[in-house]
Amino acid sequence: MLLVVLCIVFLSVCLAITVLFDADILTFLAVQFGKAPADEFNGKVVWITGASSGIGEALAKEIAGYGNVKIVISARRKEELERVKNECMKLSTSNDILVLPFDMTNIEFHQEAFDMVISRFGKLDILVSNAGQSQRAVWENIDLEVDKQVFDLNVFSVVNLNRIAVKYFLKVGGGHVAVTSSTVGRIAAPGSASYTASKHAIHGYFDSLRNEACHKNIHVTLLCPGPTFSDLLAQCFTDEPGRPLGGKMRPTDRRMTSERCAFLSAVAIANKLEESWIGLFPIVSMLYLSTYSPYVASKISKVIARNNVFMKIRDSGQKTLKTN
């Protein structure tokens, strides 16, 4: 009887965490009782791609505030990276921030960029791959070229740069790669087929890496944020090549702030969590249901899909998808 009561209490606490907290249970425990990011990042060299806006920018600022951290920030827009650097320097005591602009899809430049980081700082400890773009499109209308472009940016460029990093980490005795996936890497979202597939692919690649390199001091963290404030709707892929969505988030949208997402991501990285689910209710609860009771989740998904509930949660009711 006591065991039954303890199980009920345990499950009730877990349920409460998923409802009241904005991350999964392990991330919650890491926030409350885990290693402090400021201590774990101390003296480290951290490279963040996709750092000119959104979560990447917020993460650069979060880490800069920890003090003795050397930071590399990369994205396509040099002027925006310079702005982020200046803001980071107001928070950092080391003031050692390298702006390294480049297009992630320029695969041929990856090794040169990596060598520039090592040349500047003498080492790299953590690579955070945050660059990527989302999508809004109807499945049957998507041009195959869009699928290829999404995978070039969200998957193949990420895999290539991380392979360079992992080879380096194996030589020096260890390292840490963190990749920004998405909640759609776990739950397939309607209206974003190419993007959803790209994030599923990220999980496949990096789960395989984790299993291969777990005994070689190579740590892999997959970050899975839900709806978060950023400028992703502006350059969001659609169903046609070269036609970005051009959307804009509203201050009243129900989304997590990029600053909060960055803090939780930093906690996950500092504590070397394998995966971190980050999002406002009901995102994390949906992920638990989908993971541990996929049959029930599939039945519920079919019911709520009729009312476009998924897209309403993701886009806070905005009409970001043309369906006719």
Contact 41, 266 (CB under 8 A): yes
List the structure tokens of 74: 């990369």
Distance CA 104, CA 140 (A): 28
Looking at residue 230, its amino acid is: S
CA dist 151 → 122, 133, 145, 155 (Å)? 32, 10, 10, 5
List the structure tokens of 272: 């070397």
* Catalytic status, residue 195: yes
Contact 182, 199 (CB under 8 A): yes
Nearest to 302 by CA among 293, 291, 312, 310: 310
Distance CA 258, CA 192 (A): 21
Q: Which of these is catalytic: 195, 205, 288, 295?
A: 195
Question: How many Cβ atoms are within 10 Å of 193's Cβ, its own excluded?
Answer: 22
Distance CA 11, CA 44 (A): 38
Kindly list the catalytic residues. Answer: 195
